[in-house]
Amino acid sequence: MKKVVISVLGQDRPGIIAAVSGILFEEGCNIENVDQTILQSEFSGIFIAGIPVERDYADLHKRLLEGLKDLELNIFIKPLDHSQPRLEFGESEPFVYTTRGPDKKGLVASITRVIADYGVNVTNLQAVFRGSDNPSDNIMIYEVDVPSDVLQKDLHADLRRTAERLGLEISIQHRKIFEALNRI
């Protein structure tokens, strides 16, 4: 089997995953990974699937579009290319950075710029902005892997300065501590 990444986007409603997975099953595909969420009222799903070697990507895309047209979804397919060397990040420590504060433009860009400048990889990001005046309604949770050669003290000081400049509260926790406190 060869592998593809299938992105599915559209208005949320019951049955989207059932419809997508049903078509993939009918086409002889094997779903290996799924990550799905609802952002406001929009469905967003990413599937990694093994597809038969003889199966053409364009034909599978056409079959998905036809089979899902009543759901009015946007479908994108990309071959998963394992011929490129996978980036190795070496030894790292998992952290969770949580920010709360007023919603304004540039929050995600500013925090992730600091993270990227230190060569830290964001492995998961959840951001919910409700636009209210209550800072607790606007939260961002960054799960990151901090390379062991990064001076955590400097990174965390830069994150705190950036958060303060943006009017955000920031919590910096090792992922093990975060999980123990939040039981996720």
Give all domains of the chain, ordered by start, each with its CATH number: 2-79 (3.30.70.260), 92-182 (3.30.70.260)
Q: What is the pLDDT of residues 49-101, one digit of tens each?
A: 999 989 888 999 999 999 999 999 999 999 987 666 666 667 888 999 999 98
The fraction of the chain above a pLDDT of 70, given in percent, is 87
**Quick check: 145 and 93 in contact, CB under 8 A?**
yes
Does position 183 have pLDDT exceeding 80, yes or no? no
- Mean pLDDT value of segment 8-16: 95
The model's pTM is 0.73
Provide the CB-side half-sphere exposure for 125 (13 A, CA). 12
Going by C-beta distance under 8 Å and a sequence separation of 6 or more, which residues neighbour residue 170? Answer: 97, 98, 99, 159, 160, 163
Q: Tell which wins on pLDDT, 129 or 26.
A: 26
Q: How far is CA 4 from the centre of its chain?
A: 17
